[in-house]
Amino acid sequence: MSSSKKVETRQEIDTLGPMEVPMDRYYGAQTMRCLLNFRIGGEEERMPRQVVQAMGILKKAAAETNQEFGLDPKLSTAISNAADDVISGKLYDEGHFPLPIWQTGSGTQSNMNTNEVIGNRAIELLGGRIGSKDPVHPNDHVNKSQSSNDTFPSAIHIAVATALTKDLRPAVTALRDSLQAKSVEWKDIVKIGRTHTQDAVPLTLGQEFSGYAQQLTNGLQRIEAVLPRVYQLALGGTAVGTGLNTRRGFAEKCVKRIGQLSGLPFVVAPNFFEALASRDAMVEVHGALNVLAVSLMKVSNDIRFLGSGPRCGLGELLLPENEPGSSIMPGKVNPTQCEAMTMICAQVMGNHVAVTVGGANGHFELNVFKPLIASNVLRSIKLLADGCTSFNCNCVKGIKANKEKLAKIVNESLMLVTALNPHIGYDKSAQIAKAAHKNGTTLKEEALKAGISEKDFNDWVRPDKMLGPS
């Protein structure tokens, strides 16, 4: 028979009574109650690491600010030092922040998880007994001048702003630059355009890729446009936006310190009632992410279809061969990076629905879908950032133009007949194209039959002269 080793515990007390807490964990009674009450999902459903680290930044800034308003410097220093272990991610990785996303919609349990962990770690640093709440109390000292209702939304904004600026923006920029480089490289390669998936007039492969690059430039501009709202922090609003139990000037000083610690230009929200009751900024952020996903799905699909083949598809692009593509068909290679990117985009679009529903549920003075919103926004940022990097490094940079196939398709296209419009009119041009299609002949053959001289045809139908206004 197997026997499990009994976990050594200590007793901690909250307002509902005593709780047994694992001896090797810094969290306390309230975190333990939440663990027992919300056994939902597994490790992948934990509160995101970035949110917990952001809470650490906030608690450190609050402790240092509270010292200016009378908090014992010894306690402030201990809290600040304990918060450093949260900011580094060390205590998250060691399992001191086990709570799931699926808890109270205000994030109160995660705020108290942070207060308890920092409080007990600070007590330990001061040589006290963990769990005693002496000399550091999780509410009276770590949470001083704060409420879960203003700290948790502030932590979300800190985490999202950091992820947008340090993860997503560089990844999208790098992919955009690679697409732009391909646009320049292929500026003189003429190809046939397609509208409604049917043959259209010519353009260059470079022009086509310039459109993709511009989509990502627009996506970056959308991210930049929303950042000012993300930089607005609810800290200072406390419970319902009135600022009860905080001090005048606390919010301004604390937010300034958060900016110094994070390296980002955070400001006090202009209206605490909006900052607590709504999550419009996060819905707006995810709107930008959703548009980016739409753009990336279009680009990825175009690239994989243009690279279809090798013998029986369009074959205009030669995509990197990264891994075998089939367990039954020898030699097959698939556009796996394009497929991964399109799946990411589909997931982001799904996340957008959840974020939208969450944002709409800010009843009265408080939105209570914040953990859901935070987790989905951060997941979308992570997926898009990693996806752009993978797609860029393992696909886009290695794409080659199949010049022979491109030239062959141009020569076979009936839509070059559009160049005849200014000279012989739309109707006669259409008759020539239809005749060539019906008879399996070339445009030139049918044009000569229609009385156009060979010299005129050669002068008028020049794909390289059909790439812009005349």
Q: Are residues 119 and 176 in the same domain?
A: no
Q: Which amino acid is at 55?
A: M
- Asked if the model's pLDDT at residue 367 lies above 80, the reply is yes
Q: What pLDDT, in 10s, does the model give residues 126-175?
A: 999 999 999 999 999 999 999 999 999 999 999 999 999 999 999 999 99
* Contact (CB, 8 A) for 423 and 333: no
Q: What pLDDT, in 10s, does the model give residues 2-40?
A: 456 788 999 999 999 999 999 999 999 999 999 999 999
Q: What is the overall mean pLDDT for the chain?
A: 97
What does each C-alpha distance from 268 to 150, 351, 370 come to in angstroms?
Answer: 11, 28, 19
Give φ, ψ of 265 to 5 degrees: -85, 65
CA distance 47 to 45: 7
Q: Which of 2, 3, 4, 196 is catalytic?
A: 196
Structure tokens given for 46 = 């934990």
Indicate which CATH number applies to the domain containing 21. 1.10.275.10
Q: What is the pTM of this model?
A: 0.95
Q: Is 326 a catalytic residue?
A: yes
Structure tokens given for 456 = 């005129």
Q: Is 327 a catalytic residue?
A: no
CA distance 34 to 30: 6
Q: Which of 144, 179, 210 is the last residue of a domain?
A: 144
Let me know if residue 393 belongs to a domain. Answer: yes
Q: Are residues 390 and 449 in the same domain?
A: no
Let me know if residue 3 belongs to a domain. Answer: no
- Asked if the model's pLDDT at residue 268 lies above 60, the reply is yes
- Show Cβ contacts of residue 426 under 8 Å, excluding neighbours closer than 6 positions: none
3: left (phi over 0), alpha (psi -120 to 50) or beta: beta
- Asked if the model's pLDDT at residue 330 lies above 80, the reply is no
Q: What pLDDT, in 10s, does the model give residues 111-120?
A: 999 999 999 9
Q: Which of 326, 363, 437, 453 is catalytic?
A: 326
- Show Cβ contacts of residue 260 under 8 Å, excluding neighbours closer than 6 positions: none
Question: How does residue 376 score in pLDDT terms, banded at 50, 70 and 90?
Answer: very high
Q: Are residues 215 and 303 in the same domain?
A: yes
Q: Are residues 184 and 104 in the same domain?
A: no
**Percentage of residues in the chain with pLDDT exceeding 70?**
99
Section 447-467 average pLDDT: 94
Question: How does residue 1 score in pLDDT terms, banded at 50, 70 and 90?
Answer: very low
Let me know if residue 380 belongs to a domain. Answer: yes
Q: Are residues 15 and 65 in the same domain?
A: yes
Burial of 132 (0-12, 13-18, 19+ CB in 10 A): middle
Q: Are residues 173 and 132 in the same domain?
A: no
Question: Would you state the pLDDT for residue 4?
Answer: 61
Structure tokens given for 32 = 């333990």
Q: Are residues 259 and 340 in the same domain?
A: yes
Domain boundaries, position 450 = 414-465
* Contact (CB, 8 A) for 233 and 154: yes
Section 326-340 average pLDDT: 89
Q: How many domains does the chain have?
A: 3
Q: Are residues 395 and 421 in the same domain?
A: no
Q: Are residues 339 and 198 in the same domain?
A: yes
Q: Can you give the C-alpha Rg of the chain in angstroms?
A: 30
Q: What is the greatest pairwise CA distance in the chain?
A: 102
Question: How does residue 333 score in pLDDT terms, banded at 50, 70 and 90?
Answer: confident
Q: What pLDDT, in 10s, does the model give residues 254-265?
A: 999 999 999 999
Q: Are residues 129 and 228 in the same domain?
A: no
- Asked if the model's pLDDT at residue 240 lies above 60, the reply is yes
Q: Are residues 303 and 362 in the same domain?
A: yes
Q: Are residues 226 and 124 in the same domain?
A: no
